[in-house]
């Protein structure tokens, strides 16, 4: 009988469900995505949107997905801004 590997396990460890176009470890892909979202948030703020709720709405309107695929909240926006989004982690 073939061994059964749960899909999330393959995703976590870069198995077959991860795209061949991006073979970087998941943590590097996540850091890169947070960097993109952080830059997008700053772009939205520069356009005149100042509230965290407004930024969350603008992200949703642009079709930007959250890390888990849910709706954007002001808390998520705040966390991304507070933590930065660069590959080294948690600077502003």
Domain residue spans of the chain:
25-92
Please report, in tens digits, the pLDDT of each residue of the chain (92 residues total).
455 544 444 444 555 555 555 667 888 877 888 888 999 999 999 999 999 999 999 999 999 988 888 899 999 999 988 887 544 343 33
- Report helix, strand and coil shares of the chain as percent, to nearest 5: 50, 0, 50
What are the φ/ψ torsions at residue 16 (nearest 5 degrees)? -60, -25
- The upper half-sphere exposure of residue 48, i.e. CA atoms within 13 Å in the direction of its Cβ, equals 0
15 and 9 in contact (C-beta within 8 Å)?
yes
d(CA 44, CA 59): 8
């Amino acid at each position: 009988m073939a061994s059964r590997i749960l899909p999330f396990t393959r995703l976590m460890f870069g198995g077959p469900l991860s795209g061949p176009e991006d073979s970087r470890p998941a943590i590097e892909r996540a850091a890169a995505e947070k960097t993109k979202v952080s830059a997008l948030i700053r772009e939205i703020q520069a356009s005149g949107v100042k509230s965290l709720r407004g930024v969350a709405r603008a992200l949703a309107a642009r079709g930007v997905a959250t890390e888990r695929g849910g709706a954007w909240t002001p808390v998520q926006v705040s966390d991304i801004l507070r933590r930065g989004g660069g590959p080294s982690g948690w600077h502003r």
